[in-house]
Amino acid sequence: MLQDLFDGCLHIDPIEQTTDAVVQAPPPVPTCKGIVAFADADDRCISMLTAANIRRTVVARLFPAHAEQSGKRSTIAPLVRMIYYQCCYNDFAAALKYLHTARVLWPDEWRSMMSLPQLWFVKIDLSATWPNFSLTEKMNTAAARKMFGPFPTRKAAHRYITALRTAFALCHRPDLVDSPRKAAACPYLQMGTCPAPCVGNIARDTYHQQIEQAVAAAGGRYGDYAEPMRQEMMSCAADRQFERAALLKKRIEALGVLTDNDYAWTRDLSALAILHIDRWARVAPDGGKRRIQSYAGYLVVDGQIHCFEPFTTNAIAEFLNAAGGVLRASGNTGAPNATGENLALAASFLYRNNPPGIWIDCSAEESAHKTPPPEDVAARIQEKFTPVKTAGEGN
């Protein structure tokens, strides 16, 4: 099984275990970033690690005396008979390979082996009598249900719901909407900051129109509503309708919450599509001697992560055509909950302060999914991966 999961392997002689076995093996263990697994005589995986340098990690685990900091870690060397490795030239590829391999090797325990973030989502059932937004941990894109996310924390998701309810004058206590007697004690009803469907202050059709606007804003179209609200606020202030103007100001401020960095990647999950590009190995095109940088591309869509063949800057158009084909075939497929781990893996990179590589939003709004023009991608690759020369360096 292990041989099918990795591209390279090395047999370790239990009698002659030296660093030479790793460095001088035909071929030698590579020095790139990747995944390394150690197996015993029965080809059972003892340990699997992500490695910034595969060879250095192997030497450190098998020959701790040669490691820079051996510490008190116990050695696994007496048990190891095979070393399996997979070159991954960027952090995302290494994390993805580790995830896929762990799922196969430890189908029942792999979740406890990975530090994937807990994702939170916001859902709304449009078939409900009085639809409203609520918090959930599960991905479930049923026909009448809208799902939004991902969110980095539970607090961020809850704040998103509060902002939508405030900006579009929705009920803040949906648990009381069908209980007028209990709703009499609702503070939002008493303060007059709620449309009060619980006591019949708003028609159902009108409330559903406000829900439709809130759903559109939750999917990323909040800019469509900020300016009309601002114009109405100014008009109310000019007419000395100060109470109405103050209410509109509060709604505009709530709408502004949706622009926070916590929601930079929040979308309708059925439309969410993210293109990721990062470095790959240096290659020699057409068998030449001069090596140039190649890049790896990934597409997160429909709860899946699609990997494409590495490409050079001369083949960006071909890569985008392949990614565009996947996007055009995508849609609201009702991805099973198991694929939530794929989105969690992507989110663990998206919500870093400085995520590695390039991340491009290809999410669909009213038009179909589409990739950016090749020249735009080429410019972003040039900006991200070309070293900046400092004063004193050669031309």
Q: Report pLDDT digits (tens) over 26-42.
A: 778 899 999 999 999 99
373 inside domain:
yes
Domain boundary among 218, 244, 263: 263
Separation between Cα atoms, residue 150 and residue 184, nearest integer Å: 35
Q: Are residues 287 and 201 in the same domain?
A: no
Which of 171-180, 198-207, 288-297 ranks highest by mean pLDDT? 288-297
- The stretch 74-82 carries a mean pLDDT of 83
pLDDT of residue 16: 66
3-state secondary structure string across the chain? CHHHHCCEEEECCCCCCCHHHHHCCCCCCCCCCEEEEEECCCCCEEEEEEECCHHHHHHHHHCHHHCCCCCCCCCCHHHCCEEEEEECCCHHHHHHHHHHHHHHHCCCCHHHHCCCCCCEEEEEECCCCCCCEEEECCCCCCCCEEEEEEECCHHHHHHHHHHHHHHCCCCCCHHHCCCHHHHCCCHHHHHCCCCCHHHCCCCHHHHHHHHHHHHHHHHHHCHHHHHHHHHHHHHHHHCCCHHHHHHHHHHHHHHHHCCCHHHCCCEECCCCEEEEEEEEEEECHHHCCCCEEEEEEEEEECCEEEECCCECHHHHHHHHHHHHHHHHHCCCCCCCHHHHHHHHHHHHHHCCCCCCCEEEECCCCCCCCCCCCHHHHHHHHHHHHCCCCCCCCCC
pLDDT of residue 112: 82
Q: Are residues 125 and 259 in the same domain?
A: yes
Q: Report pLDDT digits (tens) over 117-136.
A: 888 999 998 888 888 899 99
pLDDT of residue 391: 53
Looking at the predicted structure, is the pLDDT value of residue 197 above 80?
Answer: no
Q: Are residues 134 and 253 in the same domain?
A: yes
Q: Are residues 259 and 277 in the same domain?
A: no
> Ramachandran region of residue 274, left (φ > 0), alpha (ψ -120 to 50) or beta?
beta
Tell me if 82 sits within 8 A of 1, measured CB to CB: no
Cis-peptide into 27, omega within 30 deg:
yes
Separation between Cα atoms, residue 90 and residue 94, nearest integer Å: 6
- The stretch 183-212 carries a mean pLDDT of 75
Q: Are residues 177 and 285 in the same domain?
A: no
pLDDT of residue 122: 93
Looking at the predicted structure, is the pLDDT value of residue 341 above 60?
Answer: yes
Higher-confidence residue of 87 and 59: namely: 87
- The stretch 220-243 carries a mean pLDDT of 88
pLDDT of residue 27: 79
What pLDDT band is residue 336 in, cutting at 50, 70 and 90? very low
Separation between Cα atoms, residue 353 and residue 126, nearest integer Å: 35
Separation between Cα atoms, residue 57 and residue 35, nearest integer Å: 10
Looking at the predicted structure, is the pLDDT value of residue 15 above 70?
Answer: no
What pLDDT band is residue 395 in, cutting at 50, 70 and 90? very low
- Residues recorded for the chain: 395
249 inside domain:
yes
Dihedral sign of CA atoms 366, 369, 372, 377 in order: positive
369 inside domain:
yes
Domain boundary among 87, 106, 139: 87
Which residue, chain included where needed, has tokens 């479930």?
Answer: 140
What pLDDT band is residue 388 in, cutting at 50, 70 and 90? low
Q: At what angle do helices 242-257 and 154-167 cross, to 10 degrees?
A: 150
Domain extent for 294: 270-385
Q: Report pLDDT digits (tens) over 242-295.
A: 888 988 899 899 999 999 989 989 988 888 899 999 999 999 887 777 899 999
pLDDT of residue 34: 96
Which residue, chain included where needed, has tokens 């939004």?
Answer: 148
Separation between Cα atoms, residue 275 and residue 380, nearest integer Å: 13
What pLDDT band is residue 366 in, cutting at 50, 70 and 90? low
Q: Are residues 128 and 242 in the same domain?
A: yes
Looking at the predicted structure, is the pLDDT value of residue 333 above 70?
Answer: no
Rounded to a whole number, what is the distance in angstroms from the first to the last CA of the chain?
51
Q: Are residues 233 and 274 in the same domain?
A: no
308 inside domain:
yes
Q: Are residues 318 and 379 in the same domain?
A: yes
- The stretch 180-199 carries a mean pLDDT of 69
Q: Are residues 61 and 161 in the same domain?
A: no
Q: Are residues 155 and 221 in the same domain?
A: yes
Which of 54-58, 66-70, 266-270, 296-300 ranks highest by mean pLDDT? 296-300
Q: Are residues 79 and 135 in the same domain?
A: no
Count structural domains, the chain. Answer: 3
390 inside domain:
no
Q: Are residues 188 and 283 in the same domain?
A: no
pLDDT of residue 338: 45
Q: Report the side by side order of strands in the sheet with 120-125.
A: 133-136, 120-125, 145-151, 267-268
Poorest-confidence range of 9-13, 97-101, 249-253, 334-338?
334-338
220 inside domain:
yes
Among 356, 368, 363, residue whose Cα is nearest residue 95 = 356
Higher-confidence residue of 297 and 336: namely: 297
Domain boundary among 36, 63, 87: 87
pLDDT of residue 377: 95
Tell me if 229 sits within 8 A of 251, measured CB to CB: yes
CA 282 → CA 90, 229, 375, distances in Å? Answer: 12, 53, 22
Strands 267-268 and 8-11: unpaired
